[in-house]
Structure 1
C-alpha cells in the first residue's frame, strides 16, 4: 500500500496531464496493486456475502480520470482509489461495502482513508420504506442491526435534512435516522491501518459486522425494484 499512497500524494502535488503521462508506467504498477487488493476483497467479503462473490473488477472499481465538465475544479485526475462492492455492481443502487484510499492530507472525503457501508443514492420510495421500518422497528434495528456494527463505524449525516419530518417525533431515539436520505455507516482509518499485513482480511472483518445493516437496507431496495419491474 505504501507505493499506492506515495503515488497518490505525488499526483496531488502534480495533478496535470504532463506529469501523469511521464508517470504512466508507475500508475499502471500501482493500479495492478490496487486491483489485486480489490480482487482479494471480493474473495474475502464473498465468503460471508454471497451477492459479492460474482463481482469482477469492472463491476466495482472506478476510473482515475475526473469528469470536469460541471466542476470548478479542473484538475484532470482523482487523487484516491475507491472500490464499491454491492449486489449487482456499483450502479445497481443497492447498499454495499466501499473502501477508499485517499491522498491522506486531511480527514475530509475524498482525502481521507475510509470504509463505508450503505449507499448515497436511493429511490425515494426506498427512503420512505426505510424511515417507516426503522421507526416502527427501532428496538430491533438498534440492537440486532446497529448493535452488531464495529464501534469504528458511525452514521454518516452528510446531506441529511435539517429537521425531522413532521410525521415523526423529533425527540424519538430514531429521530436522526428520519432525517437521512443516504443510509450509510462510515469509519475513517489511517496510514498504519493500510500498512497492516493481510489488509483485505482486516477490511473484510470490519465490513462483516455491517452485513446485517446492508441486508436491512437492501430489503427495501429490492422491494422497490421488484415493484417497479412488476
Structure 2
C-alpha cells in the first residue's frame, strides 16, 4: 500500500517544484520512492499469477519511472514530475509495448493497460488483427463489466483520415483508425493507501488482461 506520507510529499512537490526544495526534501523523496517500489514488488508478485507474461523476476526498482522530467524540448520547465509511474511490461524486462501501467498521484491515480502509440510495424499488425478478428476484440471491449470499469474503448485518439489499405466503409473503421489501444481506470486516494491496494490494482488488471492478450497475439 501507499503511505499517506508519500501522497503528502507529492502534494507539496506541486507547489515547490524546484531543485532547492527537492534537495532539501531528498530524504522524504527517497522514502516515498521506496514505498512505491514496495508496492510495485507486491503488484508484480500478484500480477504474475494472473498474467504469466509479467515476469515474476521483474526488478521493481527498474519498473518505477524517473521522477526527473526531460525539459529540453518542453515549455514547462519544472524539473520534477508530480507523480510516480510504474511500468509493468509483458515482454520481458523491456518497458513499453503491451503493458500495465500504474500512476500514483494525489487525486489523480490510475491503473491502465494496453499499447500506447505502437511503433509502425506493430500498429500495422494490430490493425491487421482487428481486420481479421474484430469480433474477438469487440467481445472484450463491449463487455458490460469492461465498459463500466474503463469506459468507451473507441473514445481515444483516432486518425482523421482512413488508414492506408482500408476502406472508409469498413464496418470496423472506428477501431482501425485508433492511434493507441489503451484503457484506464481511476483510483481514489483511499484505495491506494488501503492495506489491499495491490490486490485491488491486480483485480483491475485482470479485467483488462484479455485486451493485452489480443494485442500481444497481434504482434507476436
Say which of 179, 183, 192 aligns to 2:177.
179
State the 1:142 CA deviation: 1.4
2:154 touches 2:174 (CA, 8 Å); kept in 1?
A: no
Pair 1:70 & 2:66 matched: no
Pair 1:101 & 2:104 matched: yes
Pair 1:9 & 2:6 matched: no
Structure 2 alignment gaps of length 5 or more? none
Helix, strand or coil: the match of 2:138?
helix
Name the residue aligned to 1:205: 203
Helix, strand or coil: the match of 1:45?
helix
Name the residue aligned to 1:89: 93
Name the Cα RMSD after superposition: 2.2
* Higher relative contact order, structure no. (Cα contacts within 8 Å, ≥ 6 residues apart): 2
Q: C-alpha separation between the residues in 2 aligned to 1:58 and 1:82?
A: 11
Pair 1:48 & 2:50 matched: yes
Q: C-alpha separation between the residues in 1 aligned to 2:134 and 2:115?
A: 20
Structure 1 alignment gaps of length 5 or more? 105-111, 223-230
Counting only pairs closer than 5 Å after superposition, residues 1-230 of structure 1 correspond to structure 2 as 1=2, 2-52=4-54, 53-86=56-89, 87-91=91-95, 93-104=96-107, 112-144=108-140, 147=143, 149=146, 151-154=148-151, 155=153, 157-165=155-163, 167-170=166-169, 172=171, 174-222=172-220
State the 1:51 CA deviation: 2.1
2:43 touches 2:202 (CA, 8 Å); kept in 1?
A: yes
2:115 touches 2:182 (CA, 8 Å); kept in 1?
A: yes
TM-score, with structure 1 as normaliser:
0.83
Counting matched residue pairs gives 213
